Amino acid sequence: MMTPEIQEAYEAAKKLYAKHGINTDDVINQLKDIKISMHCWQGDDVRGFINKDQELTGGISVTGNYPGVARTPEELRQDLEKAYSLIPGKHKLNLHAIYVDTDEKIDYNEIEPRHFEKWVTWAKEQGLGLDFNPTLFSHPKSEDGFTLSHPNKEIRDFWIEHCKRSRKIGEYFGRETGQTCVTNVWIPDGYKDNPVDRLAPRKRLEESLDEIFKEEIDSEYNLDAIESKVFGIGSEAYVVGSHEFYMGYGLTRDKLICLDAGHFHPTEVVSNKLSAISLFSKGMLLHVSRPVRWDSDHVVILDDELQEIAKELVVNNLLDKTHIGLDFFDASINRVAAWVIGARNMIKALLKAYLEPIEQLKEIELKGDFTTRLALREEFKSYPFGAIWDYYCASLGVPVREDWLAQVRKYEEEVLRNRN
Ligand code: RNT
Ligand code: ZN
């Protein structure tokens, strides 16, 4: 809710930023247009609804057993609505193929748009865009760690069929919602220990992908993305879909390159890759995440790398060719809170990036005045960005500061605690 205090603090901050040529009203208008694709899988620990008894595989894992996990599509949508109501702006939802909403018993190679009809109806009601992912894990046919690069053609064909159908679902999402769907392919394929042949699986993956993407789909409705990874649990020595593999594949096939912030070596950062890739690629998809030790998927906090990612997008004008998605899963805290924290942080980071004197800093850098560059950037860290953020939340009708937490607590008491 807007209060005189929030308004006053905003006016004072606005003046300070104006001294550096930053118009905070304009910033707010630009920020409103940026959509974040929120991943459905934080709500149920990547279980999905296609096969309730199937354990999570693919070298990713969710730890914790906080009460209130969503058990049905209805519960998941209810939780998502709660989360979206606490996040400023209009955004997207990122679904995985295992999130079918149907009474039919179907396998991965049988999914069709109609199995996602209820999601589409709901997304339209909520004014949300939809993104999609084929699920190449949590299935008996991926048990030995290989899918699209599997040596057995029958198994490859099964997954190829799944991915082809996934693109058709993406097309359906795009047509129905009026917002382009990004369909992202990530596969877990890899070896625990050093392979003899590193090339053959990559060759097979290349062929499988070419087959999957054979059918032209209107890019107004669906865009394809491909996601690399440096290692997974059980694929420590070798991952078929490495960064170099997908860089090459994406650039030669005109696909979006997906960069997951948790999929690189510990001192390697995706923020430093965006400008380079932007020069050569059709576009990028971000999986904003937070790596900690071996885990690539902690809840996103407002850390240096998140701010650096946002800064790169804003300073280099990359928001048009970059699709921002979130990718983390934590079952040790309230799952709705996890969404809200991660999404609010992503938006905060973008806001903070807009509130730096970009043009001024660029000039200073060109002149070679690195003292001023460092001094100014450091001083701007304590400029009253919080006052603009509070005003932004209040004017978009979402809770200001930590007020959202009380609503999540209430929801936990009234809804989540009643799920067993
Ligand atoms: C796994 C990838 C992938 C998954 C989702 C569930 O390491 O990051 O994006 O997190 O597909
Ligand atoms: Zn990811």
Ligand 2 mean position to 211 CA, how many Å? 23
296 CB within 6 A, ligand 1: yes
pLDDT in tens, 79-133: 999 999 999 999 999 999 999 999 999 999 999 999 999 999 999 999 999 999 9
Tokens of 9: 């603090």
Ligand 2 mean position to 56 CA, how many Å? 15
Q: Tell whether pTM > 0.95.
A: yes
- Asked if residue 120 lies in contact with residue 127, where contact means CB atoms within 8 angstroms, the answer is no
Residue nearest to atom 2 of ligand 1 (CA): 186
- Asked if residue 210 lies in contact with residue 254, where contact means CB atoms within 8 angstroms, the answer is no
Looking at the CA of 230, which ligand is closest? 1
260 CB within 6 A, ligand 1: yes
Give, to the nearest 10 degrees, the angle between helix 73-84 and helix 403-414: 160
pLDDT in tens, 357-387: 999 999 999 999 999 999 999 999 999 999 9
Q: How many helices (H) and strands (E) does the chain have?
A: 14, 12
Tokens 């960005």 -> residue: 385
Domains delineated in the chain: 35-356 (3.20.20.150)
Q: What is the pLDDT of residue 183?
A: 99
Distance CA 307, CA 393 (A): 19
Distance CA 41, CA 319 (A): 24
329 Cα nearest atom in ligand 1: 10
Confidence check: pLDDT of 146 > 80: yes
Confidence check: pLDDT of 308 > 80: yes
Please give the share of the chain, as a percent, with pLDDT higher than 90.
Answer: 98
Q: What is the pLDDT of residue 392?
A: 98
Q: What is the mean pLDDT of residues 284-299?
A: 96
Please give the share of the chain, as a percent, with pLDDT higher than 70.
Answer: 100
Active site amino acids: 186, 227, 229, 260, 263, 287, 295, 297, 327
Q: What is the mean pLDDT of residues 322-326?
A: 98
Confidence check: pLDDT of 52 > 90: no
Q: In Å, how far are 72, 134, 371, 411 from 367, measured between CA atoms? A: 58, 49, 11, 54
Specify the DSSP element, H or E, that contains 182: strand 181-185
